[in-house]
Structure 1
Amino acid sequence: MLHAHRVIIGKPGTPTPTFSSRFTSFTVAPEWHVPQSIATRQILPYLQANARAGSDQDFLAENNYTLYNAKGQQVKPTAVNWLKVTPKNFPYTIRQNPGCGNLLGNIIFHFRNPYGLYLSDASEFREFERPYRALEQGCMHLDRPMRLAAYLLGPDTARAALPTEAECEVAPTPRSFYLMRPVPLHVRYATCAVIAGKLRFYPDVYGQDAILRRQLF
């Protein structure tokens, strides 16, 4: 085993699917394009609550978000009547700028998949210390991501001048790195594994063992 990393995965209600793909590139100091489902289900209620309370608080600006209309033009959030916007009629896109607090952290790894998933850093590093890490909406977060980035670049690491996490936080400028050779990625779900010659069992967070047991017996 070359490297071992702790991973945060999807909650039981929004499990991380299993699939195979290939790492093709990664971006340091990434800008987060907020999925429409998250924008309408999680962010819109905050904006409407502030509007109902008559608050001058700019939730988007305070969280380093930028609002755009359907034409890609930047819109001032305080100029929108959020009480008239509904999840079915949400003509905006939201992006979170690079920097501290970005939900993607300092790096995101790109790979093709039909689920819109990605592997990224995490903004809350303390979550990696938790024994139970099925906490996300399906996506995966990785601890020590720069170590994986250096491994993927291989001999090109020195030439590519990969920044440190500290440098990303000080100067959060997006920069993409493309791999000379794509690296296979296999996402699998297992509740046991052989470690150092011994069988080790893990919690069945998605309840798949019970389904398999019923199918077998």
Structure 2
Amino acid sequence: MVLDTEGTQLDPASVDWDNPRGILLREPPGPNNPLGRMVFRFDNPFAVFLHDTPSQALFARAVRNVSSGCVRVEQADELADYLFHTLDNHQRDRIQQRMDSGKTHEIRVENGPQVLLTYWTAEGTADGRLRFTPDPYGLDAPLIRAYHQATGLQ
């Protein structure tokens, strides 16, 4: 679906695809939507969010950095249950009805939990050793260069 910045649906033939400006592309809800049945948005400067996925088989892979920057949630229903645990049965039923409608709805959780995403490629183990993991996003090299520059170490 092609939308303008106000959310009005546009005819794709009316868009200058060589120079597209002021448009949004949105895949409608449904079983093949890459975001799954639900998205968990939270304040952050990177437009990163958590989302369900119809591609549950990806969680069986050892290397799972296949998303476009957002974070797939393996058990999104359980996360939603946790977030909505303070709601009464009537509110939970309303949410379920909205999800079953097949339409997109936004449900805000007042005073919801704070989300902190971290990216670690090294960690200390319980036995005092240092364990390194792959750096699929290439963020270690600039950090190491900055460290060497700041400390004068090579």
Report the TM-score when normalising by structure 2: 0.70
Q: How many angstroms does 1:116 deviate by?
A: 1.8
Identify the structure with bigger relative contact order (alpha carbons < 8 Å, sequence gap 6+): 1
Structure 2 segments unaligned to the other structure (5+ residues): none
Aligned to 2:61: 130
Q: Which residue of 1 aligns with 2:113?
A: 183
Give the one of 155, 163, 173 matched to 2:96: 163
Q: Amino acid of the residue matched to residue 212 of structure 1?
A: I
Match of 1:97 among 28, 32, 44: 28
TM-score (norm 1): 0.53
Determine the C-alpha separation between the residues in 1 that align with 2:101 and 2:130.
43
How far apart are the structure 2 equivalents of 1:187 and 1:103?
21
Amino acid at match of 1:182: G
Aligned residues, how many? 144
Which one has a larger percent strand, Structure 1 or Structure 2?
1
3-state secondary structure, aligned to 1:146: helix
> CA separation in 2, counterparts of 1:194 and 1:163?
42
Long gaps (5+) in structure 1: 1-65
Q: How does 1:75-114 map to 2 (within 5 A)?
A: 75-77=10-12, 80=13, 85-86=17-18, 88-90=19-21, 92-114=23-45
Work out the CA distance in 1 between the residues paired with 2:70 and 2:76.
Answer: 15
- Give the structure 2 partner of residue 74 of structure 1: 9
- What does residue range 197-212 of structure 1 map to in structure 2 within 5 Å? 197=126, 201=131, 203-205=133-135, 206-209=137-140, 211-212=143-144
Deviation at 1:180, TM superposition (A): 2.9
What is the CA deviation profile of residues 38-88 of structure 1, one whole-angstrom value per residue up to 9, with x for unaligned ones?
Answer: xxxxxxxxxxxxxxxxxxxxxxxxxxxx233567543444xx277x631x3
Aligned to 1:116: 47
Instruction: Please give the secondary structure, in 1, of the residue aligned with 2:66.
Output: strand
